[in-house]
Structure 1
Amino acid sequence: MRLQLATNNIKIQKSSATNEFSNKANVLNDDTDKKLLNAISAGDETAMEVFYKRHSHGVHQFAMKTVLNHHDAAEVLNEVMLEVWKTSKRYSGRSKVTTWLLSITHHKSVDLIRKKSRHDNNEVLDQEFTEEHQPNPATALTMNCDAMLLRQAIQQLPTIHRQVIHMVFFEGCSYPEIATVLNIPVGTVKTRMMHAKAHLLKILNNSADQTMER
């Protein structure tokens, strides 16, 4: 039996009321984050503690997609939060706070890898992939496998593919937001997502075949 990776055909259905509530919640969360950054820029340590509690888990998880181990991810987290404390005044407000924060996390993760002389040799994919739809947080990867198998499969993806999978399906980022965080064209984001899905499907299919042969 072959597994199928749903992209556009299978979606989690939400009522318009649910979508409206979700959008309002996102706006409120971003407003809170912006207020916290304003307080942090004025030297408010309590605001920094609150900001840390709100975002430390997300930063750590995103860093893991690049550095691949908890020790290095914890080091990146510390560097990111120190950067927030020192440079919160530079936040312009043009993007969501989480987009700004993930951008810092990405750069700190790459810097750490360079310092440790660990290089990711994956080819950067710059070809355009035409797609009408932007990623929707309500759209999910639907696979006939358990959660553990899925997590193991994602860990086998190249770094550039793990990043986009995580940001789309776990952070709810749009393609333009991912492009901003990773400093790459939107077309590259779409191409990486296409290849990530294909690679993930291949891994899951191979796992299913091996299970059936036992």
Structure 2
Amino acid sequence: MHTDDPHLIGRIAAGDKDAMRVFFESHEGPLLAFLKGRGADPQTADDVMQDAMLEVWRSASKFAERSKAKTWLFAIARNKLIDRQRKSSRMSLVEDVPEIVDETPDAEAVMISAADTERVRTCLSKLKPDHLTAIRLAFYEDMSYAEIGEIEGAPVGTIKTRIYHAKKLLLWCLGRR
């Protein structure tokens, strides 16, 4: 099966359930991590992801390829999460940083890595939500500033500033011992 996103979106628009399954499976993990990074608890993240995927199914014919399909999907999910948070009128600022598992068999390397991972997690938890989201999309999802700006509804310059300040804060935090 062809897994190119624009091709899949075209097939989804034509009602191809197999194309929807492939699209879902290829974006499920990153989308859940993105939603959790925006403060959603696991259940809410799963619900919003399902809603966003359902929206893709319903509106695939409206996808105009002005952006990547992944950017389009993440923007849909972000908007659905914001709507849900507004409805519940409680916004969580707790950030869920994904676990980084080190499979190194050397115990000393594992202990050093665990300490480093905890330091990174601690430093990430001190970032403002906007900074953390920008860092995650840029480095974990390999998105461009323009794509992040589209998802966040912010100008590219703002995204560049967020990432610059976040990196500066992370370097300062990680440099302290």
TM-score by length of structure 2 reads 0.78
Q: Name structure 1 gaps, 5 residues minimum.
A: 1-28, 122-144, 209-214
Identify the residue that residue 108 of structure 2 maps to in structure 1. none
Q: 2:76 maps to which residue?
A: 104
The alpha-carbon deviation at position 205 of structure 1 amounts to: 4.3
Look up the SS of the partner of 2:146 in the other structure. Answer: helix
Within the alignment, does 1:82 sit opposite 2:54 as a pair?
Answer: yes
**Cα displacement (A) at 1:175:** 0.9
- Which of 27, 34, 37 is the matching residue for 1:62? 34
Give the structure 2 partner of residue 32 of structure 1.
4
Q: Could you give the per-residue CA deviations for residues 152-197 of structure 1, whole angstroms, max 9, x where no partner exists?
A: 4323322111110001101111111111111111111111112212
Of the candidates 64, 85, 94, which is equivalent to residue 113 of structure 1?
85
User: Which structure 2 residue ranges, 5 or more long, are not aligned?
Assistant: 94-114
Identity of aligned residues (%): 36
CA separation in 1, counterparts of 2:5 and 2:142?
A: 17
Indicate the structure with greater helix content. Answer: 2
The residue number in structure 2 matching 1:201 is: 171
How far did 1:108 drift? 1.6
| Aligned ranges 1:1-214 → 2 under 5 Å | 32-119=4-91, 146-205=116-175, 208=177
- Rounded Cα–Cα distance in structure 2 between residues aligned with 1:59 and 1:189: 19
> Comparing both chains, which one has the higher relative contact order based on Cα–Cα distances under 8 Å and sequence gaps of 6 or more?
1
Q: Measure how far apart 1:149 and its partner are.
A: 2.7
Relative to structure 1, is the Cα distance of residues 41 and 166 closer, same or farther in structure 2, using a 3 angstrom cutoff?
Answer: same
Give the TM-score taking structure 1 as reference length.
0.66
Code of the aligned partner of 1:81: M
Return the letter of the residue paired with 1:33: D
Shift of 1:77: 0.8
4+ long deviations beyond 4 Å: none
